[in-house]
């Protein structure tokens, strides 16, 4: 994994229920795998359920991302 160095390609934002980069790429669970430890990839948004996320606040300082 590449270390964070604040380059634009490393900037993501929450847009509705999608986590997007550059307006077209989103976080995607690889092959729609629902198992714990499934791989997360960057992929063009196509509306699939494995590209929809919601945030769960577990503590005041901690947020967990969960695929919807």
Rounded to two decimals, what is the model's pTM? Answer: 0.76
Contact 8, 21 (CB under 8 A): no
- Residue 50's pLDDT is 94
Task: Give the C-alpha separation, 50 to 38, whole Å.
Answer: 11
Q: What is the pLDDT of residues 11-63, one digit of tens each?
A: 889 999 999 998 899 999 999 998 888 999 999 999 999 999 988 888 877 87
| Domain 8-67, CATH number (from 3.20.20.480, 3.30.300.30, 3.30.420.40, 2.80.10.50) | 2.80.10.50
Q: Could you tell me which of 26, 28, 30, 48 has the C-alpha nearest to residue 39? A: 30
């Amino acid at each position: 994994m590449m270390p964070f160095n604040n380059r634009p390609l490393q900037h993501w934002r929450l847009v509705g229920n999608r986590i997007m980069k550059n307006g077209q790429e989103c976080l995607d669970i690889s092959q729609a795998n629902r198992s714990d430890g499934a791989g997360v990839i960057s992929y063009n948004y196509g509306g699939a359920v494995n590209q929809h996320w919601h945030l769960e606040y577990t503590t005041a300082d901690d947020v967990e991302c969960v695929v919807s």
